[in-house]
Structure 1
């Protein structure tokens, strides 16, 4: 990607197209991008409380359920390198609208799925739509940030995604437990929200650049001088996404199997507690330096993994609640810290490509975690799968600690131990 801020002219002012007419101004564009991120995570989490129902309806093994979940990040892995620079070429708003449209179409596949193949297709469409919308929305938050503090954008990204995920889990749990058509209604709600989000985006000013380069797939690239920081930030987000894979793909199964409750409203509420703690933590700790957040998040990730194993052994609802709370706080710290670190060191003209590469790696690990845990649960026991996942993620935490202890001497033009001269 040659220019991630193609909507800016050489002197730093917005081009005429970015100042075009629109009911909503720059603040509206900022909030609309936050709504897009919330919708992306809503779509990701909407099926989570319903996975046990699908497994019962079609007699699906755990590895099939986790593979359905993993189709989403796998589709993102394909979409990000192919389309990660589209928003630089055609504007953030247009790409976000296209992504949200695909998410809206995916809800129809879920709502009226006659067999499990439609779930795979729906998750793939969700992943491609999210790949388009997420990168564009993240950069839109940065470019339309109404505050001078750049960390405000990364904090808002975490709050928005946490809000969308919280509502997805809580609402889908309630609807599947108490409303008619439990496998349909929650997707109809998501479809309506997607249409509302597209309407809001259409009311924001156009940010289409006046001149565009020809589209071509973007090769992964990390600018020299920030490679250590990139590795730390990426590993931090990987920890968050890997924990999220366990929560969202097998969390409902774990609560049902170990805590022995089939009440989907309780399951949804427990999982939503984790998502809510993500957003609250981001709000309370928005001024904490990024590296400090990564340190704290890594430590709490280890603690949450220990609680997860204990919950699988003792089957206590209160242990599951503790796992959700501690895991949510750890997710918030590692995710926000990782985004804050990369936003602070990535050169402006490489920011979109760098963020896309970070997400690419994080989603690869998320898919691998989900499929691996599901395969272990199918071939052995769910308890052993949970223990193996905890051991593997603890090793990643130790790697994060090692990287954090390396001397950092960089910035966009600086030097770090992994880069040579900047």
Structure 2
């Protein structure tokens, strides 16, 4: 299938716009993280509720990916992105007006639907414009969004008024500006028939991608499981270790994200297999350091572990993208990327809910963090064995 030639704005500007949309959507998803302790204090709910509110976002993203994840292949990237931005704005308005847990859940559900719709469309559009730069942008944008959303929210909570509202208002303004940019952007793919059929949930992969997806799935699951834990419970863990301000909690997510983005930039010219092996190794090292640091009440060690974990996240996710994207045609990109994000968001949400349950009914926050670190180490080792076992049969992507 042919793609439309980008005209307005220029390809580089369009690529930046699309990457910034992913940043904004991910930032909106992590912005509530520093606010959960405030919500918990006001509305008196447990860490289980915190992780459930956090995880319903992942469920909503999965539902959207399974239904509208392929829609942009048929109706075009721009209409899907514009609709997703509108829905995301609605979710942020619900956050602003929230008066209890039901409103938080509703906001997260709406937010997840918007993110699921936007993720496949924006990611595929960047590959339409420039496959190499698009792959890099797809890898780095989620990490930047994760860090920016958490730190911006923490700073606004700590130093400015209306702590449970201001960050959402800022994000609404950003999204409206991006919506104007999408309206001016040229379509990057030629629409085709079958839009209604594409809404039927189905798991279908091109034959060339099936083996490689099995190789990268454990890696993607592991790194997103770690990201989910730090986003949901990381700020509370930092405060438990150092009895510090909200900013320190947001900074923990920021450090994780910054080192993940740095790893992507440093490793961008390496082979997919090298990137994935580096990510797995960093993940294991980071979790070992985190495990020791939590046991020893060492906040400095904990942040070092966060940094290595971020490298693991960046390397693991970038390697997954570099493995899959060269193997698909333009009209298959949104479908394949949506499936990769499905694996990622299952890892993002499910283990985090289990962790929230263990915080309340197990050994508490610190003990749960230690057990989670061990689980991620085991999962990373399993991913490593899978990667090594398929080295001779699964393509590893270009250098």
Note if 1:197 corresponds to 2:197. Answer: no
Q: Is the 8 A contact 1:29 1:140 kept in 2?
A: no
Q: Match of 2:385?
A: 402
Change (3 A) 1:282 1:411: closer
Q: Which has the higher helix share?
A: 2
**Distance change (3 Å), C-alpha of 1:342 and 1:255:** same
Match in the other structure for 2:206: 223
- Work out whether residues 91 and 107 of structure 2, in 8 Å CA contact, stay in contact via their aligned partners in 1: yes
Number of corresponding residues: 392
SS of alignment partner, residue 226 of structure 1: helix
* Residue 252 of structure 1: aligned partner: 235
| Shift in alpha-carbon separation, 1:349–1:95, aligned structure 2, 3 A | closer
Residue pair 1:73, 1:364 contacting (<8 A) in 2 also = yes
Mapped to 2, the partners of 1:344 and 1:19 lie a distance apart of 20
Deviates more, 1:181-190 or 1:201-210: 201-210
Q: Does the aligned pair in 2 maintain the 1:345–1:411 contact within 8 Å?
A: no
Which residue does the alignment assign to 1:160? 141
- Residue aligning to 2:249: 267
Which of 373, 378, 390 is 2:373 aligned to? 390
Residue among 313, 316, 332 paired with 1:334 = 316
1:40-70 CA-to-partner distances (Å, cap 9, x unmatched) read 1111111111111111111111111011110
Matches within 5 A, 1:126-137: 126-137=111-122
Q: After the TM superposition, which of the residue ranges 46-55 and 384-393 deviates more from structure 2?
A: 384-393
Q: Distance in 1 between matches of 2:356 and 2:44?
A: 15
2:291 pairs with 1:309: yes
Give the alignment's Cα RMSD to 1 decimal: 1.9
**1:2-401 maps to which residues of 2 (within 5 A)?**
8-9=1-2, 14=3, 18-19=4-5, 23-145=8-130, 150-207=131-188, 209-216=190-197, 217-261=200-244, 263-380=245-362, 381-401=364-384
Q: 221-230 or 195-204, which moves further after superposition?
A: 221-230
**How far did residue 207 of structure 1 move?**
4.2
Asked if the contact 1:252/1:267 (under 8 Å) is kept, the reply is: yes
The 1:211–1:332 alpha-carbon spacing in structure 2 relative to 1, beyond 3 Å, is: closer
Structure 1 residues 408 and 64: alpha-carbon distance in aligned structure 2, compared to 1, 3 A threshold: same
CA distance in 2: counterparts of 1:358 and 1:26, whole angstroms: 25
State the TM-score, normalizing by the size of structure 2: 0.93
**Unpaired segments ≥5 residues, structure 1:** 1-7, 413-422
Shift of 1:411: 5.3
SS of match in other structure, 1:183: coil
Structure 1 pair 142–19 and aligned structure 2 pair: CA distance change class (3 A) = closer
Q: Distance in 1 between matches of 2:328 and 2:384?
A: 22
- Change in 2 beyond 3 A, CA 1:343/1:23: closer
Structure 1 pair 303–19 and aligned structure 2 pair: CA distance change class (3 A): closer
Tell me by how many angstroms 1:347 deviates: 4.7
Deviates more, 1:395-404 or 1:366-375: 395-404
Structure 1 ranges of 4+ moved more than 6 A: none
- TM-score, normalised relative to structure 1: 0.88
Q: Unaligned 5+ residue runs, structure 2?
A: none
Distance 1:344 1:63, change over 3 A: same
SS class of match (1:408): coil
